[in-house]
Structure 1
């Protein structure tokens, strides 16, 4: 189920957003540049992260999915073998593989706008450009970039339930 408000313009991270993300993650937020996508429940769900954390550590995951309810639902997809099927299709479908490679290029271009970190040059997330390794990263990118940019992220979104319907994403309990 794809949310209706997709994509969204990045928003400044407020103190309330930082507190919500810290509650979602169970630790302080680090390196947040913007709220890249806000869940229909109103909470931040994808954080656009600086390519270098405040302590100097290179951080290639530009689009960090913070919503514990979405992450849990994605974990169930991963556990159900969805990534195996996606990887088989990438190997058999050159057009899909090319679209997946273009998603990698988009990811790198978006991160480059935030800064240059030579240690992670050419490294994106989620197994891009050659495979599907982490649906959390691909869904985060898809939500931040909008439909049609990340084919595997879009596909995973289609498979997810409406995780935001029963309670706020700032709460860690899973109501699915």
Structure 2
């Protein structure tokens, strides 16, 4: 996982602003553009930034927002209260995320991102985690990607920045 100047320029185009704290491209779109970046646990000014994986693909962000708008996060959170195996797998995702972040720089907190491990607060975080870590680590990211399979990944996701 590396990040080039071209990757940073594309991420800036995707986000509509300069990216902050980018350490690496953690996953790419089918077209080769960055889809997920791994960020530093602290921004350049020292501010804690617990979101280790950040979804940058504009097209995928739009699709994930549709799932959120349809109430998927509430349904997922409700399932945590009734499905012990799912809750255990989600806790593992939280612990994995925390261990990866703390291996870079411990923040002295067990807060990760996306509501882990007790609720689903931001589906974008979970999709980013699933794309970066691969299937089987984050159950809710995996589920969201399965629901989006008919739309993503396919096609050109972002225009390349010309140097």
When the two structures are superposed, what TM-score results if normalisation uses the length of structure 2? 0.93
- Write the distance in 1 (CA, Å) between the matches of 2:132 and 2:113: 14
Which residue matches 2:60? 70
Which residue matches 1:56? 46
SS in 1 for 2:124: helix
What is the CA deviation profile of residues 122-169 of structure 1, one whole-angstrom value per residue up to 9, with x for unaligned ones? 011111001111100001011111111000110011011433434333
Which residue matches 1:21? 11
SS in 1 for 2:146: helix
Which residue matches 2:94? 104
Aligned pairs, how many? Answer: 159
Which residue matches 1:38? 28
Q: Which runs of 4+ in 1 moved over 4 A?
A: none
- Write the distance in 2 (CA, Å) between the matches of 1:111 and 1:43: 23
CA contact under 8 A between 1:25 and 1:66: conserved in structure 2? yes
1:170 CA drift (Å)? 4.5
**RMSD of aligned residue pairs (Cα, Å):** 1.2
> Structure 1 residue 168 and structure 2 residue 157: aligned?
yes
Does 1 or 2 have the higher relative contact order (CA < 8 Å, sep 6+)? 1
- Write the distance in 1 (CA, Å) between the matches of 2:131 and 2:39: 14
> Structure 1 residue 81 and structure 2 residue 71: aligned?
yes
CA contact under 8 A between 1:139 and 1:156: conserved in structure 2? yes
When the two structures are superposed, what TM-score results if normalisation uses the length of structure 1? 0.86
